[in-house]
A and B are shown apart, each in its own frame.
Chain A
């Protein structure tokens, strides 16, 4: 019994430094955001007071919030399937003995290593009207000038493409690892059965890659709500909020308008979305034995 008590003290002492930091910078802020979302923003002469669901009502009536939500949804729909499909294609390609395999693999992975804020500068140039790279290429075919980032019709696509370019090579790594973990005997057996290359992929490789796809998918969903660095360089949410994503809007409300209570309300929405992802992941991890 005393042994058990000592073990508990030892255990918690070892956990203490990490737990204290997590409590201070993860658990408490999450709870505090929730509490604050029911209060007004404190002003110099007027401290925060309880206002119930007012912030949430304001949010539901806020066109920019809905714009940010729908932008984020389209951004997620644009980035997630495309980057995962490209990652799978890249992994299958660089898993085979193609010419220049090492160089190709490096080329795909390089964007992962580069700071988004730095490469956003380069992409900004690509999209620049009149003399940008994209403009010069479309100009060769006689297309008329387009302000890719300045037009409401194209700005969100433009930043979505940057995100796909940044992520696909990162996800490729996980698919590549999973492909290499598939026993070669499966391929031999399938070949003896006379299965075509496509059948082998569709019926054997792809199902075996399912856990990887789920892992990548969850990462992609979280990233779709986290990735805002390039917006700071390329559009700052514009034109007319066409590229405002949820996290960028939280930043604007909290740090440009200093409406901290409303920012906390928006944070709660983001946390709820992430909790939903966590819920799905938990359901999946439950069935994965290697996890324990």
Chain B
């Protein structure tokens, strides 16, 4: 069942929008792309100040005991302003893994600092194109981890990672002594890094089928947050396209009067609203049997909405749309980096169809 936002939730949306619009500008974001190892500090500072990092964690560990619905609303606004640091999802994912599968000791050690945002978490499940590999590249021997976890979003700054290792095993790793190599990316603000484990101590959270199921659950939680961020980005682009189409004139009239343009923007409206609807639904299904199905649908429609909006918004702008200065490429880049984090559409299509066909593992 879908939901209506209550007053508190609406206030979170309004307040986070206000805070982010006041603190983010395109001119701050552009330089981040050309430098490795820099993320949008004002965003993370805002996230900590506003308590967004604590939002979806239990009160016992300094959290605010809210959930995916509220975090999703903030992610939506972060997506609108393009400001989201990768930790919004990576730290959340790591914290949820510890909360759901960790021991009391592990929770006490990590959750309070993850809640305050002082500690940054990461998720390292993927092996190349496979976000949930049957044979992880990282090997667990006893309680030691060896091998390279490739292209971990936020990995450059993470203090702790939840890793899918051989077994399969879901393990918790303190990254303080771990070597990391930044990856030069089309969206450097995601702070993507290869993490090299060399006989690194690891603590097991789950093993075997339970580890795989746990990893999928964490991915799905993150995917719902990311889907909100993608939908926010798509919505902002739709508005940018709309504004440009009523202002820019050609052949004696606003270009938005041409059906080839106005219909393109109307189609974007459809994609954005379907994605938003699926996001709201998925966030409200956390803890229910159909959560993974709802998360997959949200993820698929949000990816389609953001990529299409990025493509079409640039097209509607014509030549100016491809310049560095106007910054639409920031959205193009972010649409793609968010589409790859937590599994591409191919992955989520399979997850969804397995469930619809009654074949889920």
Partners in one complex: no
Q: Which residues of A contact B (CB under 8 A)?
A: none
Q: Which residues of B contact A (CB under 8 A)?
A: none
